[in-house]
Structure 1
Amino acid sequence: MERESNATAAAPAAAALFAWGANSYGQLGLGHKEDVLLPQQLSDFCNPGCVKSITGGGAHSAVVTDEGSLFVCGLNKDGQLGLGHTEDVLYFTPCKSLLGCPIQQVACGWDFTIILTENGQVLSCGSNSFGQLGIPHGPRRCVVPQAIELLREKVVSIAAGLRHALAATASGTVFQWGTGLASSGRRLCPGQTLPLFLTAKEPSRVTGLENSQAVCVLAGSDHSASLTDAGELFVWGSNKHGQLASQAAFLPVPQKIEAHCFQNEKVAAVWNGWTHLVAQTETGKVFTWGRADYGQLGRTLESHEDWKPKKQDPSLRCSRPSKSTPSSLHCLMGATEVSCGSEHNLAVIGCDAVEESKMSLKTPPALLPRTHPY
């Protein structure tokens, strides 16, 4: 968002980067593997004022600078850091194989990493046990980022879940790969043939979105989402915790969350945790829904066990209980920045500095889960 210039405005305060929380594999980049209870400043690997984005996976972290450089640290047993080896890394280290190739976005899955370059090419590294690297005939792991050759269109958005990944192209098409959603789909949709994109180990076009143009994709541990240029939000995959705002236990194809769920407003932005979602509408209202047992919805529910998804007829709309219905949080009205971790959220209200920095914390490395989300 542009602002009128103000010649008398004070110079912005110097930026600083801090990390804290679980650190079993050095994912905080502090040089050791001890958990950290209080924020500690990182200052050794780059100028924090140049940090464009921070993201994290199961136990690894990635930083992209304004110049497009990629720095990584943490667990590396499957080569998810893309450094050419499988040793854990305790400090943020530049990914030298990508020097000279400016990075636009990084999405960290559980044990793999998806990388989007500024020219729209997608690369991947780490575990490929479930086809999550999008390289169907590749090895079970890649220790250096490899181009996903089957994504021939320019990509504008990427996402990584537990064992699957997504990409949205400049033309608005959504691709998905990795078999992470297939097992729950087979279990919860007995007798149904799952669409190819749920079982493919190479990028496969997501069906059901042909009449919309995606601008952003998201991935939870066992579900996917896509936001369109018309402000519509589509979701699919597991609905175990009500994160799809549906009555069905599993949605094999994308289903739009109806506008009335957002008070008939268009969705302007959406963020994703492992099993919950947060959306902001065009007027600044913030809605949350999905899993609630760690308080990640920011509201009190009558019971955490007040709803069980049904296995029959995934196309059904429903009279939904509270946790599976998007509900607005009035205290977050007009938030300038929102972020989801695996089971927590952060929001900034009324801070002009966020507009200036445009920093995005997809899953803050300081607060990554140290165990499997289930």
Structure 2
Amino acid sequence: MVLSLVACSGGKEKESSEGTKEGSGSGKTVGVAMPTQSSERWIKDGDNMKKQLEDLGYKVDLQYAEDDVQAQVSQIENLLASGVDCLVVAAVDSSALVNALAQAKSAGIPVIAYDRLLMDTDAVSYYATFDNKGVGTAIGKYVEENMDLANTKEAYTFELFMGSPDDNNAVMLYEGIMEVIQPYIDKGTLICKSGQTSFEKSNTLRWDQQTAMKRCEDILSTYYADEKLDIAFSAFDGLSYGIKAACEGAGYKVGEDWPMITGQDAELMAIKNIISGSQTMSIAKDTRVLAEKCVTMVEAVLNDAEPEINDTEQYDNGKLVVPSYLCTPEAVDKDNYKEILVDTGYYTEEEISSDSE
């Protein structure tokens, strides 16, 4: 799988008689509600969205809720009260946003769901995301291929560290992983000593690093006192950092008995950990591409046009099947990170080689 960087059609900029930039968004304001700045990934999303919209002439009001559900509700209500023309939302917990989004619909303000599906609302027009089940499939396939699960005579221990139960993406990612590894669990090639293989038992509220670390510490001390953990299926780089810390605390050594640790988002710290050997892989999700697709959706709803869509079946939010564009994720490790992340300009060599985190 290769990340597509194909340009999308959008509004053209022009120079006004005063020499200032004008575009299709001139005179219009887009409210962008992001979940948190605690993850590098969401900062990039916000920055990319703001830049691309401003390049088209839109004013952008970008808000971060710092994973506070009520804060995001208030931010969205304030954006609506300020008279934004369109609303882009990456939800902390979409179930809490139903009433605020109903206000948007009543006011005729279109809503675009960004990377997290807005559930139980008919106010959403489109959804821009990555192939969330595909992320899980890519993680599962990476482990399958690199541990040679189809041919090995050995049995490997594993544990699951999945995403937040209030995020539909986390469920789809879990389903993608399990679709790949369930046959190996049934065969006895993969053994989960804690028995925590359901999403309900393996999820991590708010994708929180400290929560993942504490749970990993408990699992290692309870189930792995006499046997080593071989594979940690982590759904997000932030969880991977917590797993890393727990493994270090339990005496695991990189290069000796260190487990395979997966991840998602290819954060800068994760890439440094991959190079040092304390994380095995991550999933690259080019936020420039995702922002670009979302911007085309904003353009469409504000100009009575149709954006590019490639999925009209998967994303049923309980009220409607939301027309979606799915960008393609890609597994990265120490062998291909330069090609995927440096050669495309996502990171520079200097950023990756820097000691600062």
Q: TM-score, normalised by structure 2?
A: 0.28
The one of the two structures with greater contact order (alpha-carbon pairs below 8 A, sep at least 6) is 2
Higher CA-based Rg: 2
Q: TM-score, normalised by structure 1?
A: 0.27
More helix by percentage: 2
More strand by percentage: 1
